[in-house]
Amino acid sequence: MTVHDGHRLPGALDDLADRSLTPKVLLADSHYGSADNMTLTDERTIDLKAPAPTARGGSSGRLTLEDFTLDEAGLVLHCPNEIEPVSTSAARAKLQARFDLAICRECPVKALCPVQAHKHDGQFARFHYTPKRAENQRRRLYESSKEFRDIYRWRAGIEATMSRLKYQMNLAQLRVRGMPAMRYTVNLRALGLNIRRCAAVQA
């Protein structure tokens, strides 16, 4: 696959519902863990377990909202250096924390901080973020818990099978074109892998 299909989840759930196969718990990778998909599964009383999308900037070593401590309403309690904001506020589309600019400019990690004190003038450095980002922060904290890992290990376990299909059954180098031919070939090779596994059990 060259393009992720996270937007296909509604159609997949409709197909499962038509066949009376709607799951109670659905395990998926991060491409399916968008806020829209979480809302969709909540509406259908399906418990979607999928990692939240990677925080922007986190992979490059920058600080992100995940490094801040938030309260239950998603408002900042303190920054990674334990500095409390002067004030916080919440609106429907945006949350804000105001930090003392003089303190932020003395911070040893200010170059990595999303508050970006060097871009502010006056007394305060304002840090804006959306409720969706605050919700993702809560999700990422939950994903580090033992409860989530115990549930999600079943999803992680399938990767070994996918690897065997790709390399042992040579799905990485299919020489067919068109969806019908692709589906036919993939189904046969999945059947072949199952036959090999049955033979291994009987041996």
Is there a contact between 82 and 76 (Cβ–Cβ < 8 Å)?
A: no
- C-alpha distances (whole Å) from 25 to each of 13, 45, 86, 185 are 12, 9, 42, 30
3-class DSSP state for residue 173? Answer: helix
* pLDDT for the residue numbered 140: 83
Is there a contact between 92 and 70 (Cβ–Cβ < 8 Å)?
A: no
Phi then psi for 190, rounded to 5 degrees?
A: -65, -40
Residue 62 is classified by DSSP as -
* pLDDT for the residue numbered 2: 61
Phi then psi for 2, rounded to 5 degrees?
A: -105, -10
Please give the chain's pLDDT, 203 residues, in tens: 566 787 889 999 999 999 999 999 999 888 888 888 989 999 999 999 988 777 666 667 788 888 899 998 899 999 999 999 999 999 888 999 999 999 999 999 888 898 988 888 889 999 999 988 888 888 888 888 899 989 888 887 888 888 899 888 888 888 888 889 989 999 999 999 999 999 988 87
* pLDDT for the residue numbered 59: 62
pTM: 0.62
Run of H or E including 36: helix 35-43
Phi then psi for 81, rounded to 5 degrees?
A: -95, 20
* pLDDT for the residue numbered 30: 83
